[in-house]
């Protein structure tokens, strides 16, 4: 039987993994610069966490969760998103009692949703996200969006656009909900079955429908911005003021509601405008969720965060033709000719690695020419050749692959020589 990868998943092979490592390293470094620290949560959680934290009217809960029963009869779910697990850990470990508030966290790891696979959309995918818990200051909303934009900018993306909206507080959303029900009720039969159900459970999510996004009712639907009360409007104005002060361009989209039930006040997405990127143009999404900590059993605690898709980030980099500065080659490849030389090569390769160099050697007993070809394929900057004559002189014949320059270097000085030459080239 020939085994194949499950639908909606992917193998990330050498040559591509370096790109993943690079973008994750950039994101982690910027998070550290902004004062965010890493948190790691389990890949599966109790199903009830997502029912309460994500919302039982969302597509994630109703259609997309990978839920199973363990041998103890407990309902568990592979995490479909990262915020609810982080908030669960925040509550369970009483991190709200930390003197350092707001608590600023970031995470990275696989998420799982049973969706129709397509370009940029997988059933197992990797999210990088941040959560800032404990502050209702609009300035931290701006900080979170600035961090997300900074990550894309640092990686070389230029054709990205920040889209923002406000969902307002509970009173604002209640007034908007009533207006949406009045707007859609008489013609709800023209919309899909999901929207018909959402009219009863969560009318705001009708605006997030992918099937009926072009229906005329969507274009004429009441705008949440017209129903913001004075407090919500003032909050949104302050967020916009801070973004402007930071020099971060943005556009307002009153139909931006996001797909999770826990959002209120600020909500945002970062879109790719690169040509040929396709329909999956949303690179990152996030917003404020002031009631989520209480919903999961903690004290009243405001929060805001975002999650970005690593897969879509890499696709956007490809669409813009951005070449990541990923060094895939070796510093040195040690070529051994003869049994005595191989014995010395084993020792030498280990010593060079201990010195911090990326080094490899032949393990297939290939001839000199084949070993040199292997060194070239592996992108070695230098080749150190050892044969019987070199051993007699206690030297290595060192060749710089780019220039073809060749010189004899005493074995005792090879480490220093390579470190100096590699350091100059870097």
Stated as kind and residue range, the H or E segment containing 351 is: helix 339-354
Residue 414 CB-density burial (10 A; 0-12 exposed, 13-18 middle, 19+ buried): buried
DSSP state of 244: H
pTM of the model: 0.90
pLDDT value of position 85 = 97
**The domain 332-420 belongs to what CATH superfamily?**
Anticodon-binding domain (3.40.50.800)
Q: How many angstroms separate the CA atoms of 209 and 212, rounded?
A: 6
Query: In Å, how far are 15, 215, 419 from 425, measured between CA atoms?
Result: 22, 59, 10
First to last CA, the chain: 48
The fold of 17-169+229-319 is: BirA Bifunctional Protein; domain 2 (3.30.930)
pLDDT digit string (tens) for the chain, length 426 residues: 789 999 999 999 999 999 999 999 999 999 999 999 999 999 999 999 998 877 665 667 777 899 999 999 999 999 999 999 999 999 999 999 999 999 999 999 999 999 888 877 899 999 999 999 999 999 999 999 999 999 999 999 999 999 999 999 988 888 888 888 888 887 888 888 878 888 777 787 787 777 887 888 888 888 889 889 999 999 999 999 999 999 999 999 988 876 556 678 999 999 999 987 766 589 999 999 998 999 999 999 999 999 999 999 999 999 999 999 987 799 999 999 999 999 999 999 999 999 999 999 999 999 999 999 999 999 999 999 999 999 999 999 999 999 999 999 999 999 999 999 988 665
Residue 285 backbone dihedrals phi, psi, to 5 degrees: -145, 150
Residues in CB range of 186: below 8 A, 6 or more apart:
none
pLDDT value of position 74 = 95
pLDDT value of position 356 = 95
CB 345 within 8 Å of CB 375? no
In sequence order, the β-bridge partners of residue 130 are: 106, 306
pLDDT value of position 120 = 73
Range(s) of the chain covered by CATH 3.30.930.10: 17-169+229-319
DSSP state of 61: I
pLDDT value of position 59 = 64
Q: How many angstroms separate the CA atoms of 224 and 204, rounded?
A: 9
Interior CA angle at 229 toward 227 and 282, to 5°? Answer: 60
Q: How many angstroms separate the CA atoms of 280 and 222, rounded?
A: 26
Q: How many angstroms separate the CA atoms of 362 and 367, rounded?
A: 10
Range(s) of the chain covered by CATH 3.40.50.800: 332-420
Stated as kind and residue range, the H or E segment containing 334 is: strand 332-336
Longest dimension (CA), the chain: 94
């Amino acid at each position: 039987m020939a085994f194949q990868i499950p639908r909606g998943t992917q193998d990330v092979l050498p040559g591509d993994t370096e790109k993943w490592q690079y973008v994750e390293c950039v994101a982690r470094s910027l998070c550290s610069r902004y004062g965010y620290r890493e948190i790691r949560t389990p890949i599966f959680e109790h199903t009830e966490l997502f029912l309460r934290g994500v919302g039982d009217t969302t597509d994630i809960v109703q259609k997309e969760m990978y839920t199973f029963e363990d041998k103890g009869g407990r309902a568990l779910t592979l995490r479909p998103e990262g915020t609810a697990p982080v908030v669960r850990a925040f509550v369970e470990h009483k991190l709200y009692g930390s003197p350092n508030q707001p608590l600023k966290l970031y995470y990275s790891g696989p998420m799982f949703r049973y969706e129709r696979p397509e370009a940029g959309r997988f059933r197992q995918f990797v999210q990088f996200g941040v959560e800032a818990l404990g502050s209702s200051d609009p300035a931290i909303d701006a900080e979170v969006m600035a961090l997300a934009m900074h990550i894309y900018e640092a990686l070389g993306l230029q054709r990205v656009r920040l889209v923002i909206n406000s969902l307002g507080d509970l009173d604002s959303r209640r007034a908007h909900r009533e207006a949406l029900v009045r707007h859609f009720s008489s013609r709800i039969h023209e919309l899909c079955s999901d929207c018909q159900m959402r009219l009863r459970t969560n009318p705001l999510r009708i605006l997030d429908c992918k099937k009926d996004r072009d229906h005329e009712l969507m274009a004429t639907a009441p705008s949440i911005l017209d129903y913001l009360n004075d407090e919500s409007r003032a909050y949104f104005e302050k967020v916009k003021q801070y973004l402007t002060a930071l020099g971060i361009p943005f556009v307002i989209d009153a139909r931006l509601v996001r797909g999770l039930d826990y959002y209120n006040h600020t909500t945002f997405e970062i879109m790719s405008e690169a040509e040929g990127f396709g329909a999956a143009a949303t690179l990152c999404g996030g917003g404020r969720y002031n009631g989520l900590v209480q919903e999961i059993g903690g004290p009243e605690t405001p929060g805001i965060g975002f999650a970005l898709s690593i897969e879509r980030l890499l696709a956007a980099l490809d669409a813009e033709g951005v070449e990541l500065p990923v060094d895939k080659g070796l510093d040195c490849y040690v070529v051994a000719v003869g049994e005595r030389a191989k014995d010395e090569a084993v020792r030498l390769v280990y010593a060079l690695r201990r010195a911090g160099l990326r080094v490899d050697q032949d393990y297939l007993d290939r001839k000199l020419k084949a070993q040199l070809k292997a060194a070239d394929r592996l992108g070695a900057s230098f080749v150190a050749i050892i044969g019987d004559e070199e051993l007699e002189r206690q030297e290595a014949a060192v060749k710089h692959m780019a220039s073809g320059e060749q010189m004899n270097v005493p074995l005792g000085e090879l480490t220093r020589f390579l470190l100096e030459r590699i350091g100059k080239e870097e």
